[in-house]
């Protein structure tokens, strides 16, 4: 069962069930009597049953998606609390049962905007602090003050405070700006920026790291793109995927992207995305998400066949490219 351990109540519950072949050889599999359920205490939230036999073949170390909750039902605005997901099925006539606990929460959070992963010397830093209502209802929030600190090596080197006295009304999953505080550019190095919003209900805080550098990388060797673009899907299905940039080296990399181009196509493009002027900081042996399909971005395939995903990064250190293929089959 693949799902986040904790989700926000206003977001749809995203649960996927996979079956894997752990053997070093091909394996024929038949599943039947599939049962999926979500419980909150003694209350049944959702069930799905498919008793029929489904045969398929798994190549060595291959995985297959057998159930995707979001294709069947959108469950959102759930009550806060613990939910138990249970899956049972017969796999080659042997019963298998697994479960996973998911916690649904409501909370206020902070989101930064107008903040890059790295800056150059003499650039001013002007983060916008936004309060985010991760719940299923409107909230009236009394903001008393907003504070930003900058730390280097655990020591506070700068503090800025903006005193306020205002009430804002924030809708479910809505983000509202509560302040923009300018930070003079420090010397080169790595820094932690922490924002705190003081409300009548308590303090909401969030921290993020940035770097200040002299020059971006002039060579992108050791940097690659990876995706979780699916290998197959059913005709008419919507698909979602992520694109990551990976650092295979043992040093910090600062990639200045002139343009990111993403295209899904057969003979003609059916989906494309174009982004410019990205700054990506990769710590040693790390990866950073650079794109994900958003809920309102519809990627659906109306015809069978093979489709290609191309991702190209045009950086100041050269081009980085990746291609993936998805096979669309009849339902």
Residue 17 — pLDDT band, cuts 50, 70, 90?
Answer: very high
The answer to the question of residue 1 being in a domain is no
> What phi and psi, each to the nearest 5 degrees, are found at residue 71?
-75, -25
Q: Which residues constitute the domain of residue 303?
A: 223-329
Q: State the pairing for strand pair 202-213/118-120.
A: parallel
Residue 62 has a pLDDT of 84
Confidence of residue 294 (pLDDT cuts 50, 70, 90): confident
Of 193, 201, 206, the residue nearest 143 (C-alpha): 201
Which CATH number characterizes residue 244's domain? Answer: 2.60.40.10
Using the predicted structure, report yes or no on whether residue 321 has a pLDDT greater than 80.
yes
Q: Which of 183, 213, 243 is the C-terminal boundary of a domain? A: 213
Confidence band (pLDDT; 50, 70, 90) for 40? Answer: very high
User: What total of structural domains would you count in the chain?
Assistant: 3
CB 73 within 8 A of CB 94: no
The answer to the question of residue 18 being in a domain is yes
Q: Which of 69, 68, 75 is nearest to 9 (CA)?
A: 75
Phi, psi of 82 (to 5 degrees): -95, 135
Dihedral angle, C-alpha 134, 283, 246, 269, nearest 10 °: 50
Closest CA to 89 of 125, 129, 54, 127: 54
Which residue is listed with tokens 């752990």?
A: 22
Rounded Cα distance, 109 and 233, in Å: 35
pLDDT of amino acid 8: 85
251 and 305 co-located in one domain: yes
Task: Kindly state the tokens that stand for 153.
Answer: 């090596």
Tokens of 159: 């503090």
Q: Which two tokens stand for residue 299?
A: 């990627």
- 242/313 Cα distance (integer angstroms): 15
Do both 252 and 320 map to the same domain? yes
What's the mean pLDDT when you consider all of the chain? 93
Q: What is the dihedral of CA 4, 313, 235, 88, to 10 degrees?
A: -20
Q: In this predicted structure, which of 202-211, 231-240, 280-289 has the lowest mean pLDDT?
A: 231-240
For 251-265, the pLDDT digits (tens) are: 999 999 999 999 999
Q: Are residues 32 and 114 in the same domain?
A: no
């Amino acid at each position: 069962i693949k799902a986040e351990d904790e989700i926000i109540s206003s977001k749809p519950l995203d649960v996927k069930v996979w079956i894997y072949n752990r053997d070093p050889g091909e394996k024929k599999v038949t599943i039947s009597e599939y049962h999926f359920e979500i419980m909150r205490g003694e209350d049944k939230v959702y069930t799905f049953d498919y008793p029929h036999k489904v045969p398929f073949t798994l190549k060595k170390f291959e995985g297959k998606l057998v159930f995707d909750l979001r294709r069947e039902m959108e469950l959102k605005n759930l009550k806060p609390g613990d939910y138990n997901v249970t899956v049972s099925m017969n796999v080659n006539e042997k019963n298998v049962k697994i479960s996973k606990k998911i916690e649904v929460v409501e909370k206020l959070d902070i989101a930064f905007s107008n903040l890059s992963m790295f800056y150059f010397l003499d650039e001013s830093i002007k983060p916008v602090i936004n309060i985010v209502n991760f719940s299923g209802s409107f909230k009236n929030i009394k903001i008393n003050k907003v504070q930003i600190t900058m730390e280097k090596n655990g020591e506070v080197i700068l503090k800025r405070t903006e005193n306020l006295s205002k009430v804002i009304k924030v809708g479910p999953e809505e983000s509202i700006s509560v302040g923009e505080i300018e930070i003079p550019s420090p010397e080169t190095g790595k820094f932690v920026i922490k924002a705190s919003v003081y409300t009548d209900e308590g303090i909401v805080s969030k921290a993020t790291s940035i770097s200040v550098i002299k020059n971006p990388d002039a060579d992108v060797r050791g940097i690659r793109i990876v995706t979780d673009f699916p290998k197959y899907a059913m005709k008419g299905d919507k698909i979602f995927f992520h694109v990551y940039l990976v650092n295979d080296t043992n040093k910090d990399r600062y990639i200045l992207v002139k343009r990111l181009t993403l295209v899904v196509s057969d003979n003609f493009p059916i989906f494309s995305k174009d982004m410019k002027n990205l700054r990506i900081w990769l710590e040693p042996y790390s990866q950073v998400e650079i794109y994900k399909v958003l809920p309102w971005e519809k990627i659906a395939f109306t015809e069978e066949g093979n489709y290609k995903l191309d991702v190209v990064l045009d950086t100041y250190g050269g081009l980085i490219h990746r291609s993936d293929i998805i096979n669309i089959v009849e339902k």
